[in-house]
Amino acid sequence: MEGLDVHSVREKRTDSLSRSGGETPSFPPGLHNAYLFSTFNAFSYQIVLSSPMVLYAKTLGASATVLGIIAGMMPLLVIFQIPAANYIPRLGFKRFVFAGWGTRVMFIFAMALVPLTGIFLKAESRLALMLMLLFCFNLSRGISSCAWLPWITALVPAPLRGKYLARDAAVQSLASFITFLLAAGCLAGDPRSWQFAVLFAFSAVMGAVSLSFLKRIPDAEMPEEVRASKTGVPWLEMIRYGPFKKLLRALVGYSISYGGMTAFTVAFLKAETGMSESKILLVNSTAFLGGLSSLWFLGSRLDRLGSKPVLTFCFAGWLAVLAGWVSLSGGVFPVKLSLVLILQFLMGLLAALIQMATTRLAMAIIPVMGRNHFFAIYSTIGNVALGLAPIGWGLLIDAVGARSPVWLGLAWNHYSVFFAAAALAFTVTLTLARRLHEPEAASMEDLLREILIQSPQRFWIRFWPRGGP
């Protein structure tokens, strides 16, 4: 794979300069439409792919295994990126993504009708119908999403990718926070079917609006060697490419550890604490405030510090968060709202930082030649693990059942076993993250110094009285 290294170095040298030759790199004109697309896209997908859909499935009597299928369906169907990547050069990045996103919006409009069929359909039939529509929605998304990361990687210069990802994560977190507040208001009290129908209809309309901004994002040129290439794709050689293989291992570890975490924390709060749907959504919205704070936490510093120390720090942070969930579910501490809010905030912050850091590292180590297929492998392997994990966790939760033996001061019920098993998986992932290949990354000491010492100093110095006339 020496040729891949040459292409990668060549891209870094090219991207380190502006496209006009030697000037400071800048975002291309019209890229602000990508942020607007992300905003309205978050208004849409956070309803049909997150807690509101889980709560609707719970009203229809879905088991933990079915909830795991709902949570895992979206990442599992990303596997269709592998065959779809061959067709990107024929349509171009923008047309390919637009076609898939437009198709999935149509399925959301169909989802909005499902709650209204309660007049003549039983709950299990409505659940089956919704699962079918979710499958079609996620299939169209899985196919079209393979062009998104290559498109953004081609548009954004390498020195600005961390900055772009931080801003994108921030706007998505803010939009998601607003979405959950709206959903909580819509589902206040004892929600009925028509309230879920209104919520899903809102998701469909926001998805349609997002398409108008997607169409305004500037397209990127397809590399000529990619467009002209007729040779077979060396999939195994790509997977064996050293830095990429190490990233894939860490990505799979994180996907298994994190998969289903949102769905099963919602199920825990609903089943074990008796929280209403509206209150659960308000509590979950705190996670998006954590995601929004990632812009302050790292911002443009991600490009300077690198991804490896950020990932190591975040995986260690997840161990502390899961220790908190084990304590709550195991009965060590009572389930207080303040503790749940802190855990939700930290979950949102850590998830946003990991998403930014892994995506940026993939952009940095993936060569130009074969970029579409590299990103298809990256997305597929990570998402398949992310999709299988909640199904496996759901089976574990159902297998434990009502048993709750006490050991080491903990009640080992189905949820405390799940959180403890996830913590064990994060321990393995932390070990894999320390082996990542990123020569220019800062050390963990540099990261902690930047976050805990230098950044607070810069913040408070603004308020320090200045001497002199």
For each of the domains in the chain, give its residue range(s) and CATH number, in order of start.
Answer: 33-218+236-460 (1.20.1250.20)
- Count Cβ atoms below 10 Å from residue 114 Cβ, excluding itself: 22
**DSSP-based three-state secondary structure for 19:** coil
Mean pLDDT along residues 71-94: 83
157 within 8 A of 351, measured Cβ to Cβ: no
**What integer pLDDT is reported at residue 159 of this predicted model?**
81
Which of these, 14, 20, 363, lies nearest to 161 by C-alpha position? 363
Burial class for 206, CB neighbours closer than 10 Å (0-12, 13-18, 19+): buried
Give the span between the Cα atoms of 354 and 261, in whole angstroms. 15
pLDDT tens digit sequence for 88-144: 888 888 999 999 899 999 999 999 999 999 888 899 999 999 999 999 999 998 888
Please determine, for residue 462, whether its predicted confidence score (pLDDT) is greater than 50.
no
**What integer pLDDT is reported at residue 211 of this predicted model?**
94
Which of these, 134, 69, 95, 120, lies nearest to 390 by C-alpha position? 69
pLDDT tens digit sequence for 142-154: 888 888 888 888 8
Residues making up the chain, counted from first to last:
469
**Which two tokens mark 388?**
């299988």
Give the span between the Cα atoms of 372 and 181, in whole angstroms. 37
Give the span between the Cα atoms of 299 and 450, in whole angstroms. 12
**Confidence class for position 204, pLDDT limits 50, 70, 90:** very high
Please determine, for residue 324, whether its predicted confidence score (pLDDT) is greater than 90.
yes
CA 360 to chain centre: 13
Mean pLDDT along residues 399-417: 81
pLDDT tens digit sequence for 24-50: 778 888 889 999 999 999 999 989 988
44 within 8 A of 206, measured Cβ to Cβ: yes
> 257 φ, ψ to 5°?
-65, -40
389 within 8 A of 74, measured Cβ to Cβ: no
Give the span between the Cα atoms of 306 and 246, in whole angstroms. 16
pTM exceeds 0.85 for this model? no
Give the span between the Cα atoms of 444 and 278, in whole angstroms. 40
* 104 contacts: CB under 8 Å, gap ≥ 6: 137, 138, 140, 141, 144, 207
**Confidence class for position 18, pLDDT limits 50, 70, 90:** very low
pLDDT tens digit sequence for 211-232: 999 999 998 877 655 554 555 6
| Axis crossing angle, helix 64-76 with helix 371-400, rounded to the nearest 10 | 180
The H or E element containing residue 284 is helix 277-297
**Buried b / exposed e across 94-112, counting CB within 10 Å, b at 16+?**
bebbbebbbbbbebbbbbb
Please determine, for residue 400, whether its predicted confidence score (pLDDT) is greater than 50.
yes
Give the span between the Cα atoms of 256 and 68, in whole angstroms. 12
Mean pLDDT along residues 268-291: 83
Mean pLDDT along residues 297-323: 83
Please determine, for residue 277, whether its predicted confidence score (pLDDT) is greater than 50.
yes
